[in-house]
């Protein structure tokens, strides 16, 4: 029963790989797909949606992603997105890694997080980084030198080894207030 969900997910992965392409054994691209969408639903609503321009399924435990975009959802609404240049989806750990000028943007909290790599734990609905991360809200920037950990809505962000940049003059302060 436990593997039924994984088999269903893998079936969805293969079905999500739309488009037509003639394959031959000489191609070497049999385990690659373009324009892939992977998602998980609960109570007829998508909890998260992972899209990638290209996915390599060669490794049976990890899908390698090119230009991934992870959309996190709450009550049927988009709450945040995670973007990067490349990533992986680990089927067994149910963990997504997105790296390469990685960005987390909260639509609810109007906050951006930037770093080299973010992780998303599907079961715990948590986003974290383990390297220097910049948190930007309005004109205020906080640098978490040891990374961050947050919920998928970015409502509570735990900073590790932080430094803060506050507005330096009246004009910057007024921009923050808007």
pLDDT digit string, tens, across residues 134-148: 999 988 898 999 999
With 80 as the cut, is the pLDDT of residue 17 above it?
no
pTM, two decimals, is 0.74
How buried is residue 147: exposed, middle or buried, by Cβ count under 10 Å (0-12/13-18/19+)? buried
Percent of the chain with pLDDT over 90: 52
With 80 as the cut, is the pLDDT of residue 95 above it?
yes
- Look at 7-16, 66-75, 100-109 and tell me which has the smallest mean pLDDT: 7-16
Asked if residues 34 and 18 have their Cβ atoms less than 8 Å apart, the reply is no
Supply the mean pLDDT for the chain: 83
CA distance 3 to 159: 36
CA distance 108 to 130: 24
> Do β-strands 62-66 and 162-165 pair in parallel, antiparallel, or remain unpaired?
unpaired
What pLDDT is recorded for position 4? 43
With 70 as the cut, is the pLDDT of residue 25 above it?
no
What pLDDT is recorded for position 86? 98
How buried is residue 156: exposed, middle or buried, by Cβ count under 10 Å (0-12/13-18/19+)? exposed
CA distance 173 to 160: 26
With 70 as the cut, is the pLDDT of residue 8 above it?
no
Q: What is the mean pLDDT of residues 78-89?
A: 96
pLDDT digits (tens, 9 = 90+) for 109-118: 999 999 999 9
Q: What is the mean pLDDT of residues 52-79?
A: 93
With 60 as the cut, is the pLDDT of residue 96 above it?
yes
> Do β-strands 77-83 and 95-106 pair in parallel, antiparallel, or remain unpaired?
antiparallel
Asked if residues 31 and 54 have their Cβ atoms less than 8 Å apart, the reply is no
Model confidence band, residue 97 (pLDDT cutoffs 50, 70, 90): very high
Name the nearest CA neighbour of 85 among 113, 66, 71.
66
With 90 as the cut, is the pLDDT of residue 34 above it?
yes
Q: Write out the CATH class of domain 2-17+33-177.
A: mainly beta
What pLDDT is recorded for position 165? 67
């Amino acid at each position: 029963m436990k593997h039924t969900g994984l088999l269903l997910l893998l079936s969805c992965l293969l079905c999500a790989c739309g488009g037509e392409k003639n394959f031959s054994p000489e191609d070497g691209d049999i385990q690659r797909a373009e324009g892939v969408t992977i998602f998980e639903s609960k109570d007829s609503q998508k909890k998260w949606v992972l899209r990638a321009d290209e996915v390599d399924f060669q490794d049976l435990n990890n899908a390698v992603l090119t230009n991934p975009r992870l959309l996190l959802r709450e009550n049927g609404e988009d709450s945040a997105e995670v973007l990067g240049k490349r990533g992986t989806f680990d089927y067994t750990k149910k963990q997504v890694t997105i790296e390469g000028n990685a960005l987390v943007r909260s639509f609810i909290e109007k906050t951006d997080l930037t770093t080299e790599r973010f992780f998303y734990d599907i079961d715990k609905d948590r986003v974290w980084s383990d390297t220097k991360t910049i948190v930007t809200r309005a004109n205020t920037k906080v640098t978490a030198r040891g990374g961050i950990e947050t919920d998928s809505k970015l409502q509570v962000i735990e900073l590790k080894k932080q430094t803060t940049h506050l507005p330096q003059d009246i004009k910057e302060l007024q921009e923050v207030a808007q």
